[in-house]
A and B are shown apart, each in its own frame.
Chain A
Amino acid sequence: MSKTTEQVRKSLARRYRAERRFRAYGIISIAIGLAALAILFTDIIGKGHSAFFEHYIKLDITFNEQTLDIEDARDPEQLNYGNYDGIVREALKTRFPEVTERLQVRELSALMSIGAGYELRDLLRENPEWLGTTQTLWLLADDDVDLFLKAGEKGREDSRMSAEQKAWITELEAAGDTERRFNASFFSSGDSREPELAGIWSAVVGSFFTMLVTLCLSFPIGVAAAIYLEEFAPRNRFTDFIEVNINNLAAVPSIIFGLLGLAIFINLFGVPRSVPVLGGLVLTLMTLPTIIITSRASIKTVPPSIREAAMGLGASRMQVVLHHVLPLALPGMLTGAIIGMAQALGETAPLLLIGMVAFIVDIPTGPLDASTVLPVQIYLWADSPEQSFVAMTSAAIMVLLAFLIAMNTLAVVLRKRLERRW
């Protein structure tokens, strides 16, 4: 055995150990990342899943003309001003005849959601012939009742409801007059002071319009800037300066963009506050650097030989870009745009400064209606005192995460699909 071989053999074991360690570091890093993700998801899903359901209570409602103060159920005017809470109260009193004291009656009627009255109005509008009859109906329970029913033994003891209220609910539950249903209103209504009535739809629509404005502005501007910088701009100090500053912009904290939007768009140009157009403008500023940087990177991957071939056939620079560079770079650009959009979708700080933090009940109908966006809605709910909003907040986070995951998956799929192999 030669001396070299001997030396090599000696060092081999150490080398393999080092290699194994090196690989282990990578695996550990990935494991830490995955664990963090798993903890996040378990926590959010554990807290939030209950918000997708809510409880209903079965009551025999008598549509009494006197209590309702309605003579003609086909008159919209009368329908609007009917005393629906009154018939709910009467139904509860009939269900629990032992309750007579004023204070107790008030506690009793607190079992039902304010939304129950609105529901009855809508039912009466659809079925005017119900006036004067008694119907067995499932009506939405108050959020405290909902929490109580969802809670376990210990949670029930800790509930902030009075002992009588607890007794009534337990009685209803035992009689099978409570029911858990899918919380459809969570996905179809706007914000509300009452947790059982609040939903994310206005925030989702607001986010949609904001993203639409952002995409329509930032994608064309970003791609045009990237093409100019890559294909046409001369290489000199000025373009170096621009490049450095684009990278700087990408690193600027997003709240600064909010201040900029406040100072420029609202104060200088008089754009109305709280509207998706304004949010879109601010988020465009924020997304532009991301789109420019990723677009330039994907233009750079187009082989120069393709440009030469087209140019050698007599294509002008614009034709080279439009016929060859752009189609080849587009998948990368789209991926960049989607990632930029995902970033913008989760952005909260700049929007707080431009008034998109408002309490929005109505569903926005266009990009010029006052609205809020999903992350801001999460922020608002996280700040609310009612206990039910804890679950609502987590549920809203789940919806936001679902959108983000969908967008990022789309980006990956697009890249895989459209990627060209040379």
Chain B
Amino acid sequence: MDTAEKLDKNASGRNHAEEPMIDLEEQPMQETRYPEHTVGTPFVDDPKMRLRDVDVFYGDNQAIHKVSLDIGKNEVVALIGPSGCGKSTFLRSLNRMNDTIDICRVTGELFLEDQDLYDPKMDVVELRARVGMVFQKPNPFPKSIYDNVAYGPRLHGLANKKYELDEIVETSLRKAGLWDEVKDRLHAPGTGLSGGQQQRLCIARTIAVSPEVVLMDEPCSALDPIATAKIEELIDELTESYTIAIVTHSMQQAARVSNRTAYFHLGRLIEVNDTETVFTKPEHELTEAYITGRFG
């Protein structure tokens, strides 16, 4: 695990996809063949998001190879894998955050229910209101706690009256488990909170727009164990109303919070299964090698 975290630190801030792990190739695993198809059960009935043959390119560099996966309603899907395996890239293509990178290109079928995400007619503003995102580093706006949470609803005109907005802010903060800690200082700057509180504030900000899917990109990597535990608890509660896809480096975290786990390796989706199956009887040798800590 230590190695995993170290690698995580090294890789953070860099472009995962452009730097496949050289170390891995030097290890005695060269005979391992990538499976023709993802092993396990990547598909579910009546999914929230249906993703087929997704390829992501950075210029000429292919970061994601033919990934097919379903994300079911109200379930938590954990995306795990060694640094640079493309899980963050994949996650960011689910609400088109990759659009901001000029050289990034996404192909394949990506559907949110029956809507094609990359349809030219699809509006990114609407998409991002439906598929929210929580980032690796807590990034509250340098505004008050209230304004942080109210930003999304204001942006989309979700509340016309002051009291409606107040209500949205309160429920969002309550859902994020932050209300009791900040109710007396809603107008203090959000940047003055502790790291864990900031991340919960970011979650409150995301769910204030009532998205259908929440994408989380290593939400706990910058937090201490206590703050992490709080966020994990929160993720559990959020499943009641939201569908969640979470990228994580901590296998314990994946085991604790997710219903299904997807293992990525060098841009390929190797195995998807119930979390329990992945961690107790992995089907593919690469998955097994990773979860038993043979490489990180």
- Using CB atoms and an 8 Å cutoff, list the residues of chain A in contact with chain B: 234-235, 303, 305-316, 319, 323-324, 328, 420, 422
Using Cβ atoms and an 8 Å threshold, which residues of chain A touch B156? 314
Contact of B132 among A307, A310, A313, A324 (CB under 8 A): A313
Using Cβ atoms and an 8 Å threshold, which residues of chain A touch B126? 314
- Determine whether the beta carbon of A312 is less than 8 Å from that of B125: no
- Determine whether the beta carbon of B102 is less than 8 Å from that of A312: no
In B11-47, the 8 Å CB interface with A consists of none
User: In the complex, what's the smallest C-beta–C-beta distance from B135 to chain A, in angstroms?
Assistant: 6
Is the CB of B133 closer than 8 A to any CB of chain A?
Answer: yes
Using Cβ atoms and an 8 Å threshold, which residues of chain B touch A306? 139, 141-142
- Determine whether the beta carbon of B135 is less than 8 Å from that of A308: yes
User: In the complex, what's the smallest C-beta–C-beta distance from A303 to chain B, in angstroms?
Assistant: 8
Is the CB of B152 closer than 8 A to any CB of chain A?
Answer: yes
Using Cβ atoms and an 8 Å threshold, which residues of chain B touch A324? 141
Contact of B133 among A303, A312, A323, A422 (CB under 8 A): A312
Is the CB of B235 closer than 8 A to any CB of chain A?
Answer: no
- Determine whether the beta carbon of B155 is less than 8 Å from that of A313: yes
In B121-146, the 8 Å CB interface with A consists of 124-129, 132-133, 135, 137, 139-142
- Determine whether the beta carbon of B97 is less than 8 Å from that of A310: no
Smallest Cβ-Cβ distance to A320: which chain B residue = B100
- Determine whether the beta carbon of A309 is less than 8 Å from that of B129: no
Is the CB of B73 closer than 8 A to any CB of chain A?
Answer: no
Do A314 and B129 contact each other (CB < 8 Å), given the known contacts A234-B102, A308-B97, A328-B142?
yes
Using Cβ atoms and an 8 Å threshold, which residues of chain B touch A315? 125, 155
Is the CB of B209 closer than 8 A to any CB of chain A?
Answer: yes
Is the CB of B191 closer than 8 A to any CB of chain A?
Answer: yes
Contact of A312 among B140, B142, B191, B206 (CB under 8 A): B206
- Determine whether the beta carbon of B209 is less than 8 Å from that of A309: no
Q: Which of B137, B139, B140 has the largest number of chain A CB atoms within 10 A?
A: B139
How far, in angstroms, from A305 to B156 measured CA to CA in the complex? 21
Using Cβ atoms and an 8 Å threshold, which residues of chain B touch A422? 142, 191
In B188-206, the 8 Å CB interface with A consists of 191, 202, 205-206
Is the CB of B83 closer than 8 A to any CB of chain A?
Answer: no
Known: A309-B139, A312-B97. 6 other contacts (CB 8 A): A306-B141, A308-B133, A312-B132, A313-B129, A313-B152, A319-B155
User: In the complex, what's the smallest C-beta–C-beta distance from B229 to chain A, in angstroms?
Assistant: 24
- Determine whether the beta carbon of A313 is less than 8 Å from that of B128: yes
How far, in angstroms, from A235 to B59 measured CA to CA in the complex? 14
Contact of B152 among A307, A308, A314, A328 (CB under 8 A): A314
How far, in angstroms, from A406 to B97 measured CA to CA in the complex? 46
Using Cβ atoms and an 8 Å threshold, which residues of chain A touch B155? 313-315, 319
Using Cβ atoms and an 8 Å threshold, which residues of chain A touch B191? 422
A–B complex contacts, Cβ < 8 Å, 8 sampled: A303-B139, A309-B141, A310-B141, A311-B97, A313-B205, A314-B124, A314-B129, A323-B151
Is the CB of B221 closer than 8 A to any CB of chain A?
Answer: no
Smallest Cβ-Cβ distance to B123: which chain A residue = A314
Is the CB of B248 closer than 8 A to any CB of chain A?
Answer: no
Q: Which of A305, A306, A309 has the largest number of chain B CB atoms within 10 A?
A: A309
